[in-house]
Amino acid sequence: MERLFRSLWGPFTALGLGIAALACAADQALKLWLLFVFKLAERGVVAVGPFVELVLTWNTGISYGWFQQETPLGQWLLLAFKALAVGLLWVWMARAGSRSSALALGLIIGGAFGNAIDRLAYGAVADFVLFHIETATWRFNWYVFNLADVAIVAGVAVLLYESLLGGTPQKRPDPTDTAEPR
C-alpha cells in the first residue's frame, strides 16, 4: 500500500491537483454559465471581437473532432482511454521534479477532467470559442475549443518549454578555482 501511495504522491502532487481542480472548476463554471445562463445555443453565433466568436458545438470525438463516437460504447471507450491517460499523468506528476512540471500536468489533468464531465453529462464535449481570420478573399477558422482545451494546450506548452529550454543550467566553473583538472 505504501508503494502505491509513493507512486501517486510526490513533493508537488498537491500543487498539481490544486491546479487541476481550479482548471476543471473554471472550465465547468464557464460552460454552465454559457449553456444555462447566457443560453449560447439559443443565441447562435456571438461576435466577441474581430477574430473571436462564441458558437456552441458538441464534440463527440477527441481533440480536433478526431475519432467521433456516437454510440454509448464508443463514448465509454473514449472515457476509459481518458481515465488511463489521466492515471499515467498523475504518476508523472507524483514524480515531477519541479513546480512548473506539476503545474503543467495539473493543467492537463484538470482540462481532461473538465471535458470528461461534459462527456458524462451530455454525451459530448461542449466547445464554444471560434478563432478566425478573414480577408475579402480568404477565411481561416481554427477548431472550436473550450477552456479545458486551453488548459491542456497551456500545460503541454509548459512541458515542452521545460523539456527544451528550461533544464537546470550546468554549474559554471569558478574563476578563482586554480585546482588542476583531474
Predicted confidence at residue 180, as pLDDT, reads 62
What is the Cα–Cα distance from 66 to 64, expressed in whole angstroms? 6
Full pLDDT tens readout for the chain, 182 residues: 677 667 788 889 999 999 999 999 999 999 999 999 999 999 999 999 999 999 999 988 765 555 555 667 777 787 788 889 888 999 999 999 899 999 999 999 999 999 999 988 998 899 999 999 988 899 898 889 999 999 999 999 999 999 898 765 555 555 665 656 55
Q: Is 149 one of the catalytic residues?
A: yes
Predicted confidence at residue 77, as pLDDT, reads 80
Quote the radius of gyration of the chain (alpha carbons, Å).
21
Rounded to the nearest angstrom, the gap between the alpha carbon of residue 164 and the centroid of all alpha carbons in its chain is 19
Catalytic residue among 27, 118, 127, 177: 127
Predicted confidence at residue 135, as pLDDT, reads 87
Catalytic residue among 27, 118, 149, 174: 149
DSSP 37: I
Predicted confidence at residue 8, as pLDDT, reads 84
Contacts of 152 (CB under 8 A, 6+ apart): 107, 108, 111, 112
Predicted confidence at residue 134, as pLDDT, reads 86
What is the Cα–Cα distance from 178 to 110, expressed in whole angstroms? 52
Predicted confidence at residue 69, as pLDDT, reads 57
Q: Is 118 one of the catalytic residues?
A: no
Rounded to the nearest angstrom, the gap between the alpha carbon of residue 166 and the centroid of all alpha carbons in its chain is 20
- 154-169 burial, b at 16+ Cβ within 10 Å, e below that, comes to bbeebbeebeeeeeee
Predicted confidence at residue 80, as pLDDT, reads 84
> Domain ranges in the chain?
15-164
